[in-house]
Amino acid sequence: MTKNKEEIRTIAKNRKAYHDYFVEDTFEAGVSLCGTEVKSVREGGINLKDSYCEMTGGEIFALGVHISPYEKGNIFNRDPLRKKKLLMHKKEILRLRSAAAREGYSVIPLSVYLKGSLIKMEIGICKGKKLYDKREADAEKQMQREIARKI
């Protein structure tokens, strides 16, 4: 029998992160969630806007990630804005910690997706954009749109 490739389905993207930051490197991390949170994420009830990652005690957590309460849930629904523990190798966490220690750099969640039956989060080492960088990027996007229209 042939083994099926793991299907990747994107659930949420942090578009604001790409607008506000230059993404220099990306990592894949597992997310530790409870049952009703998993069901809510599978339905698309997750928002990554204004989220960031924090390293404490050799562990990494995603803060500001909003997972809507599961509608059919009951007392087992958790706080929508609680810290979500990310599952990564120790070497990767140390690399992220050293990158985030540099001035102007942050660790930001970029997207959440299903990889097979697992929920994964793509996080990136990001450097903040200045206002003129944002204007330049917007002008470039506008030029690309005009070129696409003419073609």
Q: In this structure, what CATH number is given to the domain that contains residue 116?
A: 2.40.280.10
Model's pTM, two decimal places? 0.79
Q: Is residue 79 part of a domain?
A: yes
Tally of structural domains, the chain: 1
Number of CB atoms found within 10 A of residue 103's CB: 6
Domain that holds residue 109: 8-150
Q: Given this model, what pLDDT does residue 91 score? A: 92
Q: Given this model, what pLDDT does residue 57 score? A: 86
Q: Is residue 14 part of a domain?
A: yes
Q: Given this model, what pLDDT does residue 113 score? A: 92
Asked if residues 149 and 68 have their Cβ atoms less than 8 Å apart, the reply is no
Q: What is the pLDDT along the chain (151 residues), one digit of tens a residue?
A: 445 567 888 898 988 888 888 888 899 999 998 888 888 888 888 888 889 899 888 899 989 888 888 777 677 677 778 898 999 999 999 998 988 888 888 899 999 998 888 899 999 998 888 888 888 888 988 999 999 998 8
Q: Is residue 3 part of a domain?
A: no
Q: Given this model, what pLDDT does residue 73 score? A: 66
Q: Is residue 55 part of a domain?
A: yes
Q: Is residue 64 part of a domain?
A: yes
Q: Is residue 2 part of a domain?
A: no
Which among 38, 34, 14 has a CA at the least distance from the CA of 26?
14
